[in-house]
């Protein structure tokens, strides 16, 4: 059982506010609740002390706290709020890669392919499927970048749909989807003579069921959405949106880049057709580690992927004159994926398999709730606004705070060994990786953000 219950009376978001996002979390008692509203921008030491005490109590009760020590640099004073862009490396991953370079690459040379490397895209793909995205074996594979996999699956999907029904000439996506998704789909639409149907969304929220229902129909070939919005962290109702797409006869592709490893995903149970996701965020595969692709088993044989490479043939070493697609997920592999990246992510996959995504998601909710509580105590009085859903059921693994000065705040924080990131318009993103982030780290990072914003505003007066 998780020690991080749902919201209720407890730590208050502001003076006179109603329920806290951290009610009953570890270490809280009736006598130890905190009125965050009493903490003006760092001037009320009693309130700050209570918020810090809460963080320490939460860390002491956290069943996942011991995983933090497995990450390189986690014992330093640096505050890392960018695990949703590039995760910390596990210490064992560094050791694994060093062993690979010395013993497998240098020691075994070309023999390494037959002895181990050739099967990695499928073995690790199945591990991601089983422990991270809720997919049975034989539906997930590693290879290429997210952008390339997105192109391959989207292009294959629309080609299959148009072949079945030439009237299905529209791709549905939202205006705040991640740029690579929008750019790739724009290119496919131009290549194939298709039309993009845009859903206008609030950059502090995401796509709703009502919005999707209003645009899909008999002309829709494919819907492409992000499970967690990269700016706002809005967590989509993937099961319901998938149902709506299917009801219209469309296929749906989910971008899982900001959810894989931080939020629960049930690709099979929710009826996904297709999905892509990166592995260098919460899966800690390292810079440029290869992405993963999911294709529903019953759909695999119907799709012809557009980048035909020798890894995707039925017999790659036959070197035949014509491309003959392999059965199953192998047909969606084009060329050689990064072995180093696949090896590095195995250590985080082992942690996820041990901890379970339910416990990881529970801690993610508690970390983001605590960040929101600190924001409302310290940053909201300075004019910052929350650009992330307050409801944990609609919130992914990061928190975005808006203020016109946040670009400057972010730049100054980096010089102080506090590493969030910035996204226009005026958004400071606080990325909280559940396995490697502590509540004390959240406290220290938001305190630094508060003090830096105070300094920036004072200079502008």
- Residues forming the active site: 178, 255, 280-281, 429
* Dist. CA 450–CA 40, nearest whole Å: 10
Residue 33 backbone phi and psi in degrees, to 5: -70, 155
Residue 274 token pair: 């297709």
Asked whether 274 and 223 are in contact (CB, 8 A), the reply is no
Asked whether 428 and 420 are in contact (CB, 8 A), the reply is yes
Name the nearest CA neighbour of 120 among 295, 289, 303: 289
Tokens 């392999």, residue located: 326
Q: What is the 3-state secondary structure (H, E, C) of the chain?
A: CCCCCCCECCCECCCCCCCECCCCCCCCCHHHCCEHHHCCCCCCHHHHHHHHHHHHHHHHHCCCHHHHHHECCCCCCCEECECCCCCCCEHHHHHHHHHHHHHHHHHHCCHHHHHCHHHHHHHHHHHHHHHCCCCCCCCEEECCCHHHHHHHHHHHHHHHHHHHCCCCCEEEEECCCCHHHHHHHHHHHHHHCCEEEEECCCCCCCCCHHHHHCCCCCCEEEEEEECECCCCCEECCHHHHHHHHHHCCCEEEEECCCCCCCCCCCCCCCCCCEEEECCCCCCCCCCCCCCEEEECHHHHCCCCCCCCCHHHECCCCCCCCCCCECCHHHHHCCCCCCHHHHHHHHHHHHHHHHHCHHHHHHHHHHHHHHHHHHHHHHHHHHCCEECCCCCHHHECCEEEEECCCHHHHHHHHHHCCEECEEECCCEEEEECCCCCCCHHHHHHHHHHHHHHHHHHHHHHC
């Amino acid at each position: 059982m998780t020690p991080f219950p749902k919201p209720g009376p407890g730590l208050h978001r502001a003076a006179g506010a109603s329920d806290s996002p951290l009610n009953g979390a570890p270490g809280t008692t009736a006598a130890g609740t905190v009125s965050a509203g009493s903490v003006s921008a760092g001037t009320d030491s009693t309130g700050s002390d209570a918020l810090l005490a809460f963080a320490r109590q939460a860390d002491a009760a956290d069943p996942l706290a011991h995983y933090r020590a497995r990450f390189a640099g986690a014992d330093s004073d640096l505050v890392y709020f960018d695990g949703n862009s590039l995760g910390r490396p596990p210490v064992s991953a560094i050791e694994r890669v060093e062993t690979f370079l010395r013993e497998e690459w240098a020691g075994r040379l070309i023999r390494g392919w037959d002895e181990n490397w050739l099967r990695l895209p499928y073995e690790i793909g199945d591990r991601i499927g089983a422990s991270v995205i809720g997919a049975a074996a034989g539906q997930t594979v590693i290879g290429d970048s997210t952008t390339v996999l997105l192109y391959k699956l989207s292009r294959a999907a629309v080609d299959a749909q148009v072949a079945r029904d030439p009237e299905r000439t529209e791709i549905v996506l939202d205006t705040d989807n991640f740029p690579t998704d929008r750019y790739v789909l724009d290119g496919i639409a131009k290549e194939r003579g298709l039309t993009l149907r845009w859903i206008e969304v609030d950059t502090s929220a995401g796509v709703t069921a009502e919005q999707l229902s209003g645009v899909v129909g008999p002309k829709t070939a494919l819907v492409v959405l992000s499970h967690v919005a990269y700016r706002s962290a809005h967590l989509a109702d993937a099961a319901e949106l998938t149902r709506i797409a299917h009801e219209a006869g469309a296929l749906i592709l989910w971008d899982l880049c900001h959810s894989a490893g931080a939020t629960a995903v049930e690709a099979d149970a929710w009826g996904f057709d297709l999905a892509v996701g990166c592995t260098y965020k919460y899966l800690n595969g390292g810079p440029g580690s290869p992405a993963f692709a999911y294709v529903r088993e019953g759909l695999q044989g119907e799709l012809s992927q557009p980048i035909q490479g020798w890894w995707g043939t039925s017999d790659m070493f036959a070197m035949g004159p014509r491309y003959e697609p392999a059965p199953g997920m192998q047909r969606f592999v084009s060329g050689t994926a990064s072995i180093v990246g696949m090896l590095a992510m195995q250590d985080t996959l082992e942690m996820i398999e041990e901890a379970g995504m339910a416990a990881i998601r529970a801690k993610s909710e508690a970390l983001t709730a605590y960040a929101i509580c600190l924001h409302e105590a310290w940053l909201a009085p300075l004019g910052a606004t929350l650009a992330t859903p307050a409801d944990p059921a609609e919130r992914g693994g990061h928190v975005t705070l808006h203020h016109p000065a946040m670009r400057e705040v972010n730049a100054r924080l980096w010089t102080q060994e506090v590493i969030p990131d910035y996204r226009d318009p005026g958004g400071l993103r606080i990325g909280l990786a559940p396995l490697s982030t502590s509540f004390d780290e959240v406290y220290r990072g938001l305190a630094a953000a508060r003090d830096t914003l105070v300094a920036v505003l004072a200079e502008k007066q």
